[in-house]
């Protein structure tokens, strides 16, 4: 025996099915994925990665090994065995085999650590200006969303000038695996790549401290000079043109 179906019920069923299968618009999906990235990044307490940067003004690619423990601790290593280490209050610079170490004890150390945490910078961009979905991609075997955003007017203390930022975000962790920082004329794009990413490994605090050995010569970088000279020399401030000879390691990877 066939049970008659009311035309009204049939229409409602079709509407529900249609609504469930209707794809999100690119704009809506971009907003949702931007929010998801910000949410996932909010649960990240520490991470490490190999960072490769191709600066906009040319030169070799800069490569660093970084360890970040939020909000203010970091450890950066270059291929020459030189380190930049901060526990959030004091930052040390030293090299293996050297008898000299420099330290900075200045409130701007914390600001510098915030700028060094590119992952948070990119998450803040998406939080302020949700990105538009540009597609999907796979980087180093990891599935990513590609989002493009034009950040709200604000000066980020990075090495680049840009109008548009294109980000490749790990779908599972929200971590950015590639960032293209594109200036208004779409030339000389800066590229940042993150490899060997680890997240929430519980790094101990002593990873971000340094105790000079006996006989080491200690140089006290006076307060104020850090902000005025060091950040600009490293190419991090928006007011200073990026340098082509930053005190960072050099390699020539394929980006």
CA 101 to chain centroid: 28
User: pLDDT-derived band of residue 114, with 50, 70 and 90 as boundaries?
Assistant: confident
| pLDDT in the model for residue 4 | 54
| pLDDT in the model for residue 236 | 45
Average pLDDT, the chain: 78
Beta strands in 30-113 (DSSP E): 46-54, 61-69, 73-77, 82-86, 90-95, 100-105
Tell me the residue length of the chain: 255
Q: Which of 141-145, 160-164, 221-225, 237-241 has the lowest mean pLDDT?
A: 237-241
Contacts of 205 (CB under 8 A, 6+ apart): 69, 73, 87
Q: Compute the CA torsion angle 212, 218, 223, 229 (nearest 10 deg).
A: -100
Q: Which fold has domain 30-247?
A: outer membrane lipoprotein receptor (LolB), chain A (2.50.20)
Average pLDDT over residues 87-100: 90
Q: Which of 109-123, 172-186, 200-214 has the lowest mean pLDDT?
A: 109-123
Structure tokens at 57: 């003004």
Strand-pair category, 217-221 with 100-105: parallel
| pLDDT in the model for residue 110 | 77
The single-letter DSSP state of residue 46 is E
User: pLDDT-derived band of residue 129, with 50, 70 and 90 as boundaries?
Assistant: very high
| pLDDT in the model for residue 21 | 37
Average pLDDT over residues 240-245: 44
Structure tokens at 105: 């004890």
Structure tokens at 204: 């101990």
Q: Is the pLDDT of residue 51 over 60?
A: yes
Long-range Cβ contacts of 219-223 (<8 Å, 24+ apart)? 219/100, 219/101, 219/102, 219/103, 220/103, 220/105, 221/102, 221/103, 221/104, 221/106, 223/105, 223/106
pLDDT in tens, 194-210: 999 999 999 999 999 99
Tell me how far CA of residue 37 lies from CA of 24, 30, 169, in angstroms.
Answer: 17, 10, 7
User: pLDDT-derived band of residue 155, with 50, 70 and 90 as boundaries?
Assistant: low
Structure tokens at 56: 């906009």
Cα–Cα nearest to 106, from 218, 209, 208, 224: 224
| pLDDT in the model for residue 46 | 98
Q: Check if the beta carbon of residue 103 is closer than 8 Å to that of residue 94.
A: no
User: pLDDT-derived band of residue 24, with 50, 70 and 90 as boundaries?
Assistant: very low
Output the pTM of the full model. Answer: 0.77
Q: Check if the beta carbon of residue 76 is closer than 8 Å to that of residue 68.
A: no
DSSP 121-148: HHHHHHHHSPPEEEEEEEETTEEEEEEE
| pLDDT in the model for residue 14 | 39
Average pLDDT over residues 113-139: 91
What are the residue ranges spanned by the domains of the chain? 30-247
Average pLDDT over residues 103-115: 76
| pLDDT in the model for residue 162 | 86
């Amino acid at each position: 025996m066939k049970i008659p179906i009311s035309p009204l019920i049939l229409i409602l069923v079709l509407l529900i099915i249609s609504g469930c299968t209707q794809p999100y618009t690119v704009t809506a999906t971009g907003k949702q994925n931007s929010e998801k990235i910000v949410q996932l990044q909010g649960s990240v307490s520490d991470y490490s990665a190999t960072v490769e940067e191709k600066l906009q003004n040319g030169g070799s690619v800069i490569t660093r090994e970084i360890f970040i423990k939020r909000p203010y601790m970091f450890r950066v290593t270059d291929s020459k065995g030189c380190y930049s280490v901060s526990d959030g209050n004091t930052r040390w610079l030293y090299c293996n085999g050297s008898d000299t170490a420099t330290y900075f004890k200045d409130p701007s150390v914390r600001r510098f650590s915030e700028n060094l945490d590119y992952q948070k910078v990119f998450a803040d961009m998406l939080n302020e200006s949700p990105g538009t979905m540009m597609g999907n991609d796979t980087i180093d075997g990891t599935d990513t969303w590609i989002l493009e955003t034009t950040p709200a007017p604000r000066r980020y203390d990075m090495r680049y000038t840009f109008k548009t930022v294109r980000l490749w975000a790990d779908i599972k962790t929200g971590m950015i695996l590639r960032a293209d920082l594109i200036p208004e004329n779409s030339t000389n794009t800066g590229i940042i790549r993150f490899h060997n990413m680890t997240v929430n490994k519980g790094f101990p605090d002593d990873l971000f401290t340094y105790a000079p050995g006996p006989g080491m010569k200690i140089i006290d970088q006076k307060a104020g000079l850090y902000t005025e000279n060091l950040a600009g020399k490293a190419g991090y401030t928006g007011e200073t043109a990026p340098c082509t000879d930053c005190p960072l390691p050099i390699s020539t990877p394929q980006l």
